Amino acid sequence: MKKTTTLLADGRELIYYDSADAVVRDAVDRRPLESVATTSELRYDRLLGDTVAIASHRQGRTYHPPADQCPLDPTRDGRLTEIPAADYEVVVFENRFPSLTGDQGRCEVVCFTSDHDSSFADLTPARARLVLDAWTDRTQDLSQLPGIVQVFPFENRGEEIGVTLGHPHGQIYGYPFVTPRTSLMLARLAEHRERTGGNLFDDVLAAEISDGSRIVLAGEHWTAFVPFAAHWPYEVHLYPNRRVPDLLGLDEDARAEFPHLYLELLRRFDRIFGPDQPRTPYISGWHQAPFTAPDRRDFALHLELFTIRRTSGKLKFLAGSESGMGAFVNDVPPESAAQRLREVASK
């Protein structure tokens, strides 16, 4: 992998990731941009113990532009975009409308391909591996920034999820605090260790493998399963079989196998609801150990993938119980979801 770092016209960092060392990236951003002005502020909720980012500047972010005006496309035919190059493989750059900024975190955009009409599921294994390497590199670099406590690479896909740009892309958040979801996992991890002497993540994975009814895919180095208490209609967790705290801990064998299993999962998601509803909306994200966790090696890196679509033409809305109290009600039994995801395996 070759990494080339440059600056956009307003001073934001942009990084090209290329599979060939011979590639030269010397295009210059010619847009007359002013420096990014943000109003991001972190506020602590004393009742719930979590942190909320107040980011009013995001009200003016780009919203569903026509396909021929997408800011994530390459710069071609005289149209200037966020990526100055005429073509690219994988690109990461600082978000122009960040939720977190400065000493309060960092937000980056990851473009998986220059093809506007593609999706992650359409990538080759080699390109998916390059994305994995980019995620890993960003985790390493962001871990060195002052104040960054946790790194979360993720992808939102589909207008139903709230995506405002159709180009295949994801994001990376560098949080200056431990997120609420991770805090809960760390608390359960400590309780389980105190009660049993074992590792909660290891025991969950072992139980799913032993039961087998919710296993979706099993490789030599990774296992994908629908969790016993899945919150979402179709939700899959992908674990490396050897526990590591973050992407940096993966060995070469796990890195080599990951693209094949992950692409197969995404393609199965696109087939859940039949040919009339391809491109299932989903959220996919990597859960990594916070850098400040005292026993971070006990945490297990894993990817969580889920869709808010519960059946053909119907979405799972978070109404009173879920949004108001955080108490989920799932319409699809996890065993049924796993069975469906096995049924739609690639031929």
Q: Which domain holds residue 56?
A: 2-175
Residues 6 or more apart whose CB falls under 8 angstroms from that of 176 comprise 42, 100, 103, 104, 105, 147, 148, 149
Read off the pLDDT band of 276 (50, 70, 90).
confident
Domain count, the chain: 2
- Indicate the helix (H) or strand (E) that contains 208: helix 200-211
| pLDDT over 70 percentage in the chain | 100
Q: Across residues 206-233, what is the average pLDDT? A: 98
- Same-domain pairing of 119 and 203: no
Q: Kindly state the tokens that stand for 265.
A: 């999962």
Tell the residue number behind the tokens 């709230």, with chain if given: 162
CATH of the domain at 269: 3.30.428.10
- 287 part of the active site: no
Q: Whole-structure pTM over 0.85, yes or no?
A: yes
Per-residue pLDDT tens digits for 280-323 = 999 999 999 999 998 899 999 999 999 999 999 899 999 999 99
Which has the higher per-residue pLDDT, 66 or 299? 299
Q: Across residues 19-39, what is the average pLDDT? A: 91
Q: Kindly state the tokens that stand for 97.
A: 């409308």
Of 154, 175, 196, which residue is a domain's last?
175
Q: Which of 167, 169, 221, 302 is catalytic?
A: 169
Q: Across residues 313-338, what is the average pLDDT? A: 94
Read off the pLDDT band of 67 (50, 70, 90).
confident
- Same-domain pairing of 310 and 199: yes
Beta strands in the chain (DSSP E): 2-7, 13-18, 41-45, 50-54, 90-94, 106-111, 150-157, 169-175, 215-218, 222-225, 234-240, 282-287, 302-307, 309-311, 314-315
